Amino acid sequence: MCEILEIPRSSHYQSLQLVVSNREQENQELTKEIHLIYLESKGRYGAPKIHESLLTRGFSLSLKRVQRLMSKARIRSITKKKYRPYPSKEKVIQLDNL
């Protein structure tokens, strides 16, 4: 059976008048801009390069804020694992050049 949750009438009407804060509006605008830069770079740019691009476009924000907004929007750069050769267990025998 379905239980109906009751909340106070004042809370209901107060929730209808909620206004988005200036900081939240700014974050939404920055997230759109971050997404555009990310798509322009074909997903290659990480937070430091996106931060640098935003600074050149006239935005004033920190690297940590860019990182936070990117993680909130689930934006991650493409990373490729560096190749590291593993030594073999046997000793490598040098062959003569024929």
Give residue limits of the domains in the chain: 22-72
**What's the pLDDT score for residue 18?**
85
Q: Contact at 8 Å (CB) between 69 and 26?
A: no
Residue 23: predicted pLDDT: 93
pLDDT tens series, the chain, 98 aa: 567 778 888 888 888 888 888 999 999 999 999 999 999 999 999 999 999 999 999 999 999 999 999 999 999 998 888 887 777 677 767 778 88
Q: How far is CA 1 from CA 4, 23, 32, 40, 47, in A?
A: 10, 42, 42, 51, 48
DSSP state of 5: P
| Gap between the Cα atoms of 68 and 49, Å rounded | 15
Instruction: Output the CA angle 78-84-88, nearest 5 degrees.
Output: 150
Angstrom distance (rounded) from CA 70 to CA 1: 41
